[in-house]
């Protein structure tokens, strides 16, 4: 993902600074001249979730106790040809119905949020499937609400951006283990690892939720040129508002079903 507008501004400033000296900046000495070359920075992130495969049945025919791995993972894949290029990154989860409309029922949203969990023992990565020891895909019986209460919704290296988060949109800022929010080249982070339908659910909860999907977006901006993470995110918001930022998206629709004996939930 390239922050095109900000990079273009940097390139324009470089050209203006160099315009009066034949498009290079030179320092003349008695030994000759030194030419300083300026290159425009680059920023690339990617979003994958190798453990989520709808074609293999993931997210289809939910039932009380259903557990499946879903590991949206962001990675800074920027080339290091210009040296280290760090990023501020965030992941956004949109809670939508099966048609891609944001769900407005707070009761449904609250129930759906209870299904999102992060298991710190999960071994999957950006490009590799994994397994968890605390939450195990396909376990029978599944997990109760009591068993899930101490398992976080998202990875603690992310923090919920309270100023940008809404009821049906979770904005999760990457902070890292050191709290700086800097994602270096080659570093990655998984937002959550599992979708867990509590064994406590019954037809009532499925009917409230209906078929739903979690659309996950990853966004990043270079750290250079900003005094603080919040300044960078304000610039990123402006890029998005201007329509000049490309988002890399992973989404998965989750459907209640009848094959396991659970009555299909009605669509909202």
139 lies in a domain?
yes
Name residue 27's beta-bridge partners.
34
In this structure, what are the phi and psi dihedrals at residue 169, rounded to the nearest 5 degrees? -140, 115
6-54: pLDDT as tens digits = 432 223 322 323 333 333 333 333 444 554 544 445 678 889 999 998 8
Nearest to 33 by CA among 44, 22, 45: 22
265 lies in a domain?
no
96 lies in a domain?
yes
87 lies in a domain?
yes
Q: Please report which confidence band the pLDDT of residue 245 belongs to, taking 50, 70 and 90 as the band edges.
A: low
The total domain count for the chain is 1
121-140: pLDDT as tens digits = 999 999 999 999 999 999 99
Nearest to 69 by CA among 125, 15, 111, 21: 125
Query: What's the predicted TM-score (pTM) here?
Result: 0.80
The CA distance from 238 to 21, in Å, is: 33
267 lies in a domain?
no
Block residue for tokens 């009532």: 204
Q: What is the mean pLDDT of residues 168-183?
A: 97
50-84: pLDDT as tens digits = 999 888 889 888 999 999 999 999 999 988 887 88
259 lies in a domain?
no
The CA distance from 14 to 255, in Å, is: 52
Q: Can you give the residue range of the structural domain that contains 101?
A: 42-254
17 lies in a domain?
no
């Amino acid at each position: 993902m390239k922050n095109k507008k900000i990079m273009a501004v940097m390139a324009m400033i470089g050209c203006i600074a160099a315009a009066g000296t034949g498009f290079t900046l030179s320092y003349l000495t008695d030994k000759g001249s030194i030419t300083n070359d300026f290159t425009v920075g680059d920023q690339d992130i990617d979003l994958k979730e190798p453990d989520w495969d709808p074609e293999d049945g993931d997210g289809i025919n939910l039932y009380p106790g259903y557990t499946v791995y879903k590991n949206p993972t962001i990675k800074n894949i920027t080339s290091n040809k210009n040296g280290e290029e760090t990023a501020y990154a965030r992941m956004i989860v949109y809670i939508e119905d099966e048609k891609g409309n944001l769900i407005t029922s707070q009761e449904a949203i609250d129930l759906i949020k209870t299904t999102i969990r992060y298991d710190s023992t999960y071994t999957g990565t950006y490009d590799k499937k994994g397994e968890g020891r605390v939450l195990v895909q396909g376990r029978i019986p599944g997990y109760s609400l009591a068993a899930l209460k101490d398992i976080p919704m998202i990875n603690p290296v992310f923090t919920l951006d309270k100023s940008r988060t809404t009821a049906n949109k979770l904005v999760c800022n990457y902070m890292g283990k050191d709290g700086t929010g800097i994602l270096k080249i080659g570093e990655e982070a998984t937002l959550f690892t599992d979708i867990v339908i509590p064994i406590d659910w019954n037809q009532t909860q499925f009917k409230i939720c209906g078929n739903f999907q979690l659309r996950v977006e990853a966004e990043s901006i270079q750290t250079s040129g900003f005094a603080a993470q919040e300044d960078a995110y304000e610039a990123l918001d402006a890029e998005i508002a201007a329509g000049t930022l490309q988002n890399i998206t992973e989404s998965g629709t989750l459907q209640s079903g009848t094959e396991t004996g659970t009555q299909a939930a009605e669509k909202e």
